[in-house]
Structure 1
Amino acid sequence: MSALKLAIVGGGSTYTPELIDGFARLRDTLPIGELVLVDPAADRLELIGGLARRIFAKQGHGAVVTTTTDIEAGVADADAVLLQLRVGGQAARNQDETWPLECGCVGQETTGAGGLAKALRTVPVVLDIAEKVRRANPDAWIVDFTNPVGIVTRALREAGHKAVGLCNVAIGFQRRFAKHLGVDPELVRLDHVGLNHLSWERGVTLLDAPGAAGGREVLPELLAGFGKEIADDIRLPRRVVERLGVVPSYYLRYFYQHDLVVEELKVKGSRAAEVAEIERQLLELYADPALDTKPELLDRRGGAFYSEAAVQLIAALLGTGGGTSVQVVNTRNDGVLPFLPDDAVIEVPAEVDAAGVRPLPQRPLEPLYAGLVAAVTSYEHLALDAALRGGRDRVFDALLAHPLVGQIELADRLTDRLLAHNREHLAWA
């Protein structure tokens, strides 16, 4: 197969060098001939583009790196387009993580009222980009890493785009479990189920060889031997993890310990402020013409292992990864979780290859988790409706349906604050 052309929309992100590092290291899996970084921030593009060229050169990678502020030009003839944008930047994120606290609710960029604000700002922009991709090359795959991934992916799929959502939660668990077990990560297969940022590891299988059938269930062994480390990692009490017998994602803490998290956030302040300072330092590092590796500071930016997950997914979709592979992705439900509508977007293992994405069958989801999944799916349906059609009433409905809100007076106050802080990003407001 000839070398591929990839485009990253949001390529001026300080996180992009993580992707570049993965592309360079894993070039045998994903042979890239041209990489286009697309971003409206021309000054950042120059910094990131220069560092990307140096990383490729240091590792002997021959890909051409180009930069542009023009989306149509950037995605033209691309085999795959990665979306990693943040409408409103860290300033909008800081608001998402601040004003909900005034109402006693979690302030977070993908969960609760802050997550709804991000969805409202993001969905119209992503759909506009996707239309430009479709006009430029209708066969191109769109890989969405833009949060909230579940809602954004559902918007893309409902609009008929060749799109799949990707999150680093599952691959992060795989890597950490493999480290505990002292094995290669490719020998660890997860029984991962739920929605984006609302998922559980119900099983962990240790394989005899990468991609092999069968294997041995080792989750009880992991919880017995490394229960404290696992609980500390997801910041939940060990007794709860052991009682459940599963490993919830970190984001379940916003549901299981909502009030405690609110009090912590009021003291600690927003993650956005911390990330903004990290980004400032990273941009200073990126400006050094001698820098030709991913700096260690980038690990504190978040998104660990995303590059490996992205390479595996894109290689499978474009047929360079050696056939069908099983990967955790965000895709249409299509009956996999029968209590959800077919057009819901779920996060589960799926077979991925050049023919597309096929979610694997799942055993029935336990009532302890199914109720929450159903409630959040209903919220996501209403959130997408609000993002597509606008209107205060639709925003209110989505908030009222959210399990972390669910009260009329609270939904009213949150709606007013959401609109006040986001009018410049909402054409209908």
Structure 2
Amino acid sequence: MKKQKILIAGGGSTYTPGIVAMLADNIDRFPIEEIKLYDDLAERQEPIGAACEILLREKNSDIKFSYTTDPEEAFTNIDFCMAHIRVGLYAMREKDEKIPLKYGVVGQETCGPGGIAYGMRSIPGVLEILDYMEKYSPNAWMLNYSNPAAIVAEATRRLRPNSKIINICDMPIAIENIFADILGLESRKELTVRYYGLNHFGWWTSVTDKSGHDLLPQLQRFVAKDGYAFETEDFQHKHPSWKATFKKAKDIYALDPTTLPNTYLKYYLYPDYEVANSNPDFTRANEVMETREKEVFEIAHKIIDNGTAEGTSFHAGAHATFIIDLACAIAFNTKERMLLIVPNNGAIDNFDSEAMVEIPCLVGNDGPEPLSIGSIPTFQKGLMEQQVAVEKLVVEAYIEESYQKLWQAITLSKTVPSASVAKTILDDLIEANKTFWPQLK
């Protein structure tokens, strides 16, 4: 098998060490010649890069490793760019969450006005990385985790329609891991699923084992009672906000007991509940900054100070495993079945053919081959049409530098009660994002 050359864009991310560790641990199924990190913030990437260098030397010294802020050095001669950038870092995520909450609207990083604000920042960042890749390694694939994935996917569809980019999300994978726990299975890979929707906005319609036995009823009985709150050791270590999210799946499920929902639907279907149970002074961004942000950099500095990674470890969750599965499928033409964000193109036959939908695909060296979903019910179709319109308006607002279209996008979001509230939030977001967004007219 050919040894792969990997670039991780967003080298200073707290998720980067987990991906590096997971790549090193999966060398038997995904041989690697080189791993490079790229970030435009040297001071943030430096400790992560230095710690990863030590970690990788001890795990597998045959893998060449480097980190840089120079795009040409980073993007030249690579097979894959694994991208997970956060334009504006957590300081801007905090504003994305707190500005809407100030007006009684859901404050969340990928949903509602906060997601729209983040999307307007992410579009140019992702396009820049994609352009670097195509300039210096035109045959490479970009596997993009950068959020909000739905808006980014629509932007790349519109602005870079022929690019070799696949937009992905690990939330369905994390939920399928819970399915496996509930069912007493070793791995979610023992399941075959049917799922459709948009990113952070979808439903499972079928869950079977590899022999075709229907496992959906057993899962539905559990979810009707407890949501996705399965009392494993992993669940006990979740942050309180995530525990609440998994429990709330029970109420989302109640709206359509024939399916199983993505947890993010709670922000659209129960926005009043979300606002009532949010602390406008301490949001998820603060929670992450006080936990994972601190912990990962503390571990990195400890590795650097000690000169060894022994006795330390970086968490590598669904985020890392899924991106390696996808890279394997492309590199070695495995035709693995995976949930990806792709143009609809008739896969859902009663839905916008140009919408970026999240559905099962078979993945090989030509990329994803979407599977047919057929027709979807009125309830889901109506919700998805509204949300797709929001995503398209955001991208149009970015392209046209249009205040009007961004106001329309925020007004149309199911999380926002009125156009007047939307306008007030937009004006605050413009002020907060003036160094990131185009100047709206």
TM-score with structure 2 length normalisation?
0.89
Task: Report what 2:195 is aligned to.
Answer: 192
1:238 aligns with 2:250: yes
Task: Report what 2:221 is aligned to.
Answer: 224
Deviations 1:327-347 (A, max 9, x none): 011111111123333222111
Deviations 1:82-103 (A, max 9, x none): 1111111100000000000122
**Structure-2 change in CA distance of 1:293 and 1:347 (3 Å):** farther
1:107 aligns with 2:107: yes
Deviations 1:218-238 (A, max 9, x none): 011122256544343623263
Deviations 1:31-59 (A, max 9, x none): 11111100122233232123223333343
Alpha-carbon distance in 2 for matches of 1:330, 1:268: 34
Task: Give SS of 1:235's match.
Answer: helix
Alpha-carbon distance in 1 for matches of 2:330, 2:393: 30
Task: Report what 1:282 is aligned to.
Answer: 296
After superposing the two structures, state which structure 1 stretch, 239-248 or 92-101, moved more. 239-248
Identify which of 160, 169, 172 aligns with 2:171.
169
Task: Report what 1:250 is aligned to.
Answer: 263
CA deviation after TM superposition for structure 1 residue 204, in Å: 0.9
Amino acid at match of 1:315: C
Task: Report what 1:211 is aligned to.
Answer: none
Alpha-carbon distance in 2 for matches of 1:378, 1:239: 25
Task: Give SS of 1:427's match.
Answer: coil
Identify which of 184, 202, 205 aligns with 1:202.
205
1:334 aligns with 2:331: no
Task: Give SS of 1:387's match.
Answer: helix
CA deviation after TM superposition for structure 1 residue 267, in Å: 5.8
CA deviation after TM superposition for structure 1 residue 305, in Å: 0.8
**Structure-2 change in CA distance of 1:240 and 1:50 (3 Å):** closer
Task: Give SS of 1:238's match.
Answer: helix
Question: Are the equivalent residues in 2 in contact too, given 1:84–1:144 (CA < 8 A)?
Answer: yes
After superposing the two structures, state which structure 1 stretch, 386-395 or 327-336, moved more. 386-395
Alpha-carbon distance in 1 for matches of 2:311, 2:168: 22
Deviations 1:241-264 (A, max 9, x none): 256232211111111211110111
Q: Percent identity?
A: 28
Question: Are the equivalent residues in 2 in contact too, given 1:72–1:133 (CA < 8 A)?
Answer: no
1:7 aligns with 2:7: yes
Q: What RMSD over aligned residues (CA atoms) do the two structures have, in Å?
A: 2.1
Question: Are the equivalent residues in 1 in contact too, given 2:40–2:69 (CA < 8 A)?
Answer: yes
Alpha-carbon distance in 2 for matches of 1:141, 1:219: 35
Task: Report what 2:401 is aligned to.
Answer: 390
CA deviation after TM superposition for structure 1 residue 406, in Å: 5.8
Amino acid at match of 1:236: K
Alpha-carbon distance in 1 for matches of 2:32, 2:379: 44
Matches within 5 A, 1:115-130: 115-130=115-130
Alpha-carbon distance in 1 for matches of 2:13, 2:437: 23
Alpha-carbon distance in 1 for matches of 2:90, 2:79: 30
1:352 aligns with 2:363: yes
Identify which of 310, 327, 352 aligns with 1:314.
327
Task: Report what 1:422 is aligned to.
Answer: 433
Question: Are the equivalent residues in 1 in contact too, given 2:194–2:205 (CA < 8 A)?
Answer: yes
Question: Are the equivalent residues in 1 in contact too, given 2:81–2:142 (CA < 8 A)?
Answer: yes
After superposing the two structures, state which structure 1 stretch, 399-408 or 14-23, moved more. 399-408
Alpha-carbon distance in 2 for matches of 1:405, 1:4: 46
Task: Report what 2:420 is aligned to.
Answer: 409
CA deviation after TM superposition for structure 1 residue 121, in Å: 0.9
Alpha-carbon distance in 2 for matches of 1:147, 1:161: 18
Task: Give SS of 1:222's match.
Answer: helix
CA deviation after TM superposition for structure 1 residue 326, in Å: 0.6
After superposing the two structures, state which structure 1 stretch, 304-313 or 398-407, moved more. 398-407
Alpha-carbon distance in 2 for matches of 1:332, 1:345: 4
Task: Report what 1:212 is aligned to.
Answer: none
Deviations 1:144-182 (A, max 9, x none): 100011111222233121111111112112222112222
Alpha-carbon distance in 2 for matches of 1:237, 1:79: 39
Amino acid at match of 1:328: L
Task: Give SS of 1:138's match.
Answer: coil
**Structure-2 change in CA distance of 1:240 and 1:88 (3 Å):** closer
Alpha-carbon distance in 1 for matches of 2:407, 2:223: 43
Task: Give SS of 1:98's match.
Answer: helix
Task: Report what 1:365 is aligned to.
Answer: 376
Question: Are the equivalent residues in 2 in contact too, given 1:143–1:164 (CA < 8 A)?
Answer: yes
Task: Report what 2:62 is aligned to.
Answer: 62
Matches within 5 A, 1:15-30: 15-30=15-30
Alpha-carbon distance in 1 for matches of 2:77, 2:298: 33
**Structure-2 change in CA distance of 1:28 and 1:237 (3 Å):** closer
Provide structure 2 residue ranges, at least 5 long, that are not aligned to the other structure: 230-242
Amino acid at match of 2:73: A
Question: Are the equivalent residues in 1 in contact too, given 2:220–2:257 (CA < 8 A)?
Answer: no
Task: Report what 1:135 is aligned to.
Answer: 135
CA deviation after TM superposition for structure 1 residue 22, in Å: 1.6
Question: Are the equivalent residues in 2 in contact too, given 1:174–1:189 (CA < 8 A)?
Answer: no
After superposing the two structures, state which structure 1 stretch, 372-381 or 150-159, moved more. 150-159
1:269 aligns with 2:282: yes
Task: Give SS of 2:415's match.
Answer: coil
Deviations 1:282-302 (A, max 9, x none): 212211124527967x65xxx
Amino acid at match of 2:411: L
Alpha-carbon distance in 2 for matches of 1:405, 1:225: 32
